Amino acid sequence: MAEALAPYRALLASRLRSQLTYRRSFVLDLAGAVGIGVLELAEVLVIFSSITVLGELDLAGALLLFAFAGIGFSLADMAVGHVDSLPTYLRSGTLDAFLLRPLPVLAQLITSDLQLRRLGRTAVAAVVLVIALTMNTIVWTPALVILAVLTPLFSAVIFAALFVCAAAVQFWLVEGGEFANAFTYGGSYAASYPTSIFSLPMRVLFTFVVPAAFTAYLPTLVLLGHAGPAWTPAVLGWFAPVAAAGIWTVALLGWRAGLRHYTGAGS
């Protein structure tokens, strides 16, 4: 097992070393990532500066929701977010080199550009999580502790699958790379707000098609003891692993189909 992973360790170590070589650039990049996190937080705070409750959540609840979605998305973005540069690889023919190496293409693509700077955004969300946990009155039980710990992790797993789905679509839509942003970045945007403020069709879309609600909203309802809106009851908050398994199945099948569809750049 350790031997099988050795090439990935070497690849990752080289990527990380290269990012830390130019210290000043890295610090600026990190500051940029923190800035993005602060921007998203500012949106929530500006909205709550004029109202007290959105959906069924007050500011404390909304911050908890924001933190879960933020940690999950930024971790996924760091680990696999760069797969959305697949169209560049397709056009320039770089993907052909990946096909020649004796490692799975998706694993090579994921380890090709892990971006440490994105941890800046994770840090903002993690600070918000600590603040939100102290602001909310949660009746802790062992099960809820496990849920609170696992939620950011499964959130990351679900967002990572959305990135892979988006990358798979690029095999057909080389020029239309931005289509996929609607579901990755759009999913993250929708996940940062209470799903209950959406109309029913949108709620169904962001719960059962693009499972953004499972990354933060539904677990938050469970933690805070809310019942949840019609068709998406709070009990679904326990089913993030099922949603993750479902979306990863779609992602991997889509990726395989995309790779088979690919016919080379002629390089």
Partner 1 sequence: MSALAVYAGLGWRRWSAYRTAAAAGAFTNTVFGLIKAAITMGAIGAAGGILAGYDALTGATYAWLAQALIGPVNVFTWSELAERIRSGDIAIDLARPIDPQAGYLAADLGRAAFQLVPRAAPPLMVGALVTGLALPGQVLPYLLGLVSVTLAVVVSFACRWLVNLAAFWLLDLRGVMTLYLVASNLLCGLVVPVHWFPPWLAAVAAWTPFPAMLQHPIDIIMGRAAGPDALVLLGEQVAWALGLLVVGRAVFELGARRVVVQGG
Q: Which residues bind partner 1 (CB under 8 A)?
A: 22, 25, 27-33, 35-36, 38-39, 42-43, 46-47, 49-55, 173, 175-179, 181-183, 185-186, 189-190, 193-194, 197-199, 202
The residue among 33 and 162 lying less far from partner 1, judged by its C-beta, is: 33
Smallest gap from Cβ 13 to partner 1, in A, equals: 21
**Which residues make beta-bridge pairs with 57?**
54
Type of residue at 114: L
The residue among 67 and 148 lying less far from partner 1, judged by its C-beta, is: 67
Smallest gap from Cβ 191 to partner 1, in A, equals: 10
Q: Which is it for the CA torsion 161, 89, 173, 256, positive or negative?
A: negative
Smallest gap from Cβ 34 to partner 1, in A, equals: 9
Smallest gap from Cβ 107 to partner 1, in A, equals: 26
The residue among 28 and 143 lying less far from partner 1, judged by its C-beta, is: 28
The residue among 185 and 262 lying less far from partner 1, judged by its C-beta, is: 185
Long-range (24+ apart) CB contacts under 8 A made by 89-92 are: 90/170, 90/171, 90/174, 90/262, 90/265, 91/174, 91/265, 92/265
How far apart (Å, rounded) are the C-alpha atoms in residues 97 and 94?
Answer: 6
The residue among 51 and 230 lying less far from partner 1, judged by its C-beta, is: 51
Residue 225 falls in which region: left (phi positive, over 0), alpha (psi -120 to 50) or beta = left
Smallest gap from Cβ 114 to partner 1, in A, equals: 16
Contacts of 197 (CB under 8 A, 6+ apart): 54, 55
Tokens of 172: 């057909």
